[in-house]
Structures are given as C-alpha cells and as structure tokens.
A and B are shown apart, each in its own frame.
Chain A
Amino acid sequence: MFIQQALNSLQLGSIYALIALGYTMVYGVLRLINFAHGDVFMVGSYAALFLAVSLHCPLLIILPLTFIAIGALGVVIERLAYRPLRNAPRVSAVITALAVGLFLETIMLATVGPEPKKFPALIITTVYSFGSFTTTNLQIMIITVSIVLMMAVDLFVAKTRTGMAMRALSWDKTYAPLLGINVDRIVSVTFALGAGLASIAGIFVGLAYPVIDPYMGIMVGWKAFVSAVIGGIGSIKGAVIGGFLLGAVEILSAAFLPSTFKDMIVFGLLLIILLFKPQGFFGLPVQKKV
C-alpha cells in the first residue's frame, strides 16, 4: 500500500518537477515568474496530441519533436513579449506573462474547443502486479525518463559552459555580460530548456491521466510554481524536491481524504512549510542589508 502511494507520488511528482524546473530556471536567470509556463505545458500536451492523432507519430518521435517545437515556442514568447520588458519594472513583465498565458489558453480554446480531449494510448500498457501494489510500464517509463531528464539538466547546468553562464547570470545580472556572456542567448536557451521540459510533462500527463483540456495548465502550472517555491525558487535541486514533495502530498491527501479537501490540504501545508522555511528548502536566505 505504501509502495503504491510512493509510486503514484513519484509519477505525479515527476510531472510537477519537470514543470517546476522551467519556473525555477527562468526565475534564476531573469528574476521573472513566468506565469505563462503552465499554459506552455498545456500547449505541449496538445502539440503531442496533434502529432499522435493527425500525423500518427510513434511515441519515440513525439517526445523529441514536441520538446523541440515547444522549446522553440518558449524562445519565441521570450523574444516577443519578455525581452522588450527586460529593463521595465518587474510587475509589467509579470502582467505580460499573465496576458501571454491568457492568449495561449484562448488560442487553444478557439482552435480545438473547450471539450476535454482524450489522449491516445501511445504505448501498450502492461500491468505488473506485486501483491500489495501494481504498476504499469507507463508509470515506470514516466518516472525513469523524468529522473533521467532531471539529472541531465543538473549535469548541463553544472558542467557545460552554457550552464555555467546560466548560473553566473543568476548570481549577478549586472556583471555577467561584462565577462563575455551573451545574455540574450543564455536567456533563450533557458526558456527553450524550460519549455521543452514542460512539454514532456505535458505528454506524460496526456498518457497517464488521459484527458486534456485547455484550462489544465492553470492549476498544474500554479501547483508547479508552488513546488518551485517550496524547494527554493532559483534552485534546480529545490524544484525537483519541491515537485516530488507536492506530488506526495497530493496523492496522500487524495488517498485519505475526500477529494474536495485535496487542494485545501495541499495549499494549507504549503503555507505551513513557508511559515517555517520562508525561503524554501534550498533557497538562499535573504540578507537584510542596512
């Protein structure tokens, strides 16, 4: 029983973590909370749906194609909507992000309609029973691919030159350009990476909870944002831990409480965590300088 919940938590947590990574990386590099990120995740889901249903692509093709396509979408959004506001008050950028989100939701609503759509089963589900718990090949795939992706991102940020540049930018926006870092390029890469990861999460959501609708990005997006904050916004490790934590809390509260209480518990717990750890688990404490 416990293992069952753990597996379900890992699955849901992986999805939150993948999306949270996008929030945290963009925040790290730009100090911007990209409220359109949840909707990018949703568009990723629909993009994969299109590839699967209209072009009959197999899953192995869908994964990288969607990643690239939605990564490109992320770059375009940044270029058109956020870059002009790079030096504007932060609030203007946040409002723009909200507007971009609304735009994406409506585009999808207008083109595909509000009715939830069923995501096709792209892999033949095999169920494995182990006595007290069952799992499917799908669940295992989601968890393992997600973890591999998270490790890849971590390696990328820690070991590559671009990753180093991302970290440099997150520590000091003013002087990083003076060290020869092409800020525009790094920001684009960050957005591409974040959007790509979110689209993979979108595919997994489509496969695992096989109904998608244009408004799902809002709830999932905000929850992933919360994960990033619990983990400490700006910290990659934090986004991952936060995502899994939120997944666990949600699965466990759904298991033991009526479903109408679920959101209340999740967000109530969040408030409690923030009360004791205001900067999240891995966030940097804010130093007051007088």
Chain B
Amino acid sequence: MTNNTPNNPLFQITGLSHSFGGLKAVSHFDLTLEPGQIWGLIGPNGAGKTTVFNLITGVYKPDEGSIDLNGNDLTSLPSHAIIARGVSRTFQNIRLFKSMTVLDNVRTAGYCRQNYSLWSALARTTRFTEQEERLRQSAIEVLKTFGLVSRIHELAMGLPYGLQRTIELARALVSRPRVLLLDEPGAGMNPAEIDKLAATILWVRDTFGVAIVLIEHRMRLVMNLCEQVKVLNFGETIFQGKPGDLSKNETVVKAYFGEDHDPAGN
C-alpha cells in the first residue's frame, strides 16, 4: 500500500485532451485525487464529462495528457488493464450482463484477481477451486453489505432498476479499485432514494477506502457528498472548488442558464 501525500497523490490526470474529428470534446483536463476524496464532475449535457471517464478507462486513447495511478502510467493501457490496476466505473445507462445472475455479474469483475491457467480450470485443480471459492465468498460479502444476498441467483436484469444500480456498484468494487468513477448514479431516483444513495456512497468510501469521482446532475447529491467539484462546459474546466461556491460563480451560472434547478441544492 503506497503512502500518498500531496506530493505523491493517489491518482493524477494531467492535461487530458481529446477531439472527435474536428470537435474538441475535452480540453486540458486536470485532476488530482487523494485516497478517500470525493470529487464531483458536473456541467451541462454534452460538456464532456462521460468522455473524461471514457478517456480515463481506456475506451478512447487521449490525444494529449497523462493518467497516473500510484506511479503507474495508465494512459496507453487497454481498458481491462486499467481496471485491473485499480480504476473502476459504473455507467450512465446500466450495463449489467443480461444473461447472468447477480452473483455472476459481480464475479465476472473479479477476472483480474484470478490467476490460474486454462489447464487449472479444465482439470479443476486445487488452485482453481481455492481461488474460485475465494472470489465467490468475496462477491457474496460485497453483495451482503448491499443487502442483495437473498437475490444472488436471480437474473440481474430482472431486478428493479434501483437494485440494478446497486448491483453495478457492487460489481465495480470487486476488483478492489483505488479509484471509483460513478456516472450519474442517481439518475432516475426520487429524493429519498438519493439520500440513501449518498449514505451508501459515503459508506463505500469509508469501507473500501476508495477515492471517488462522481458525474451528476442531481445537485442534492453533489452538495451532500462532494468535497470539491469541477465544472465542465464544452470540454473546458470553467470552475474548480467547493460546491457551496458554485452559485456565486457567474461563469457557472451562465453555463447552466436555462436549466430549471436551484444551484443551492434543491
């Protein structure tokens, strides 16, 4: 376990930029994370927030910039290696594996933690049995803490929407990430569910010791959770600071002009 100090942060993004054709989607995005920090990433639709997540997790290779986790350069790695190194994410539109049970959905994310060979799997060696059992218990532990143990053998996609989001969150935790990227985890939830989600996210942070970056439109969640926020507009960072200072910033207010919500957190 690396000891992270401000001079040796857990996670550092520097100068991340990417264009699609002629359109500059993300422009000089910087971010520094210490363990346990919760950042918010907000901005109008199309501002480039999910693109940042996609760049971090290797869906696209950034035109410029670098991404570093505990001294490991993640920038040019394929997605699965990035996740294996310790960056996990959830998705705006839930992307569970539709033919799998809850348990299998979660276990699949443990792919990087298994290191037996094909032969071990085929011959069912002790190494295989032990590692599989360990993964199974680990997955069940995580699901237990989310209250899903009674449903582990059900088809994940058959469960109610709110539970599906929880499963996706549980799945993201199995690979033992250091950094967790949550893409609109509160989408489609009513205020009571939002409060419960906020508590869950805080609990995840405390229990698993992860740093979290949260893309959200629900300001209630941002205000309650995030220590710092970054505001993106057209790919550029127009504000970085405490959530409470958002409504005082003219640029931010202008960027959101036309959205009917109160930045004071309702």
Contacts and interface: CB of A to CB of B under 8 A. Distances in A.
Interface of A: 288, 290
5 contacts: A288-B59, A290-B50, A290-B54, A290-B59, A290-B91
A288 B79 CA distance: 14
Interface of B: 50, 54, 59, 91
Nearest to B51: A290
A11 to B, nearest CB: 41
Contacts of A290: 50, 54, 59, 91
Contacts of A288: 59
A288 B91 CA distance: 14
Nearest to A289: B93
Contacts of B91: 290
Top 5 closest A-B pairs, CB basis? A290-B59, A290-B54, A288-B59, A290-B91, A290-B50
Q: Tell me whether chain A's interface is mostly helix, strand or loop, or mixed.
A: loop
Nearest to A288: B59
Contacts of B59: 288, 290
A85 B91 CA distance: 32
A288 B50 CA distance: 13
A290 B59 CA distance: 8
Contacts of B54: 290
B192 to A, nearest CB: 30
A288 B54 CA distance: 11
A132 to B, nearest CB: 47
A288 B61 CA distance: 13
A215 to B, nearest CB: 37
Nearest to B95: A290
A104 to B, nearest CB: 34
A284 to B, nearest CB: 15
A26 B54 CA distance: 35
A290 B91 CA distance: 8
A271 to B, nearest CB: 24
Nearest to B91: A290
A250 B162 CA distance: 57
A290 B50 CA distance: 8
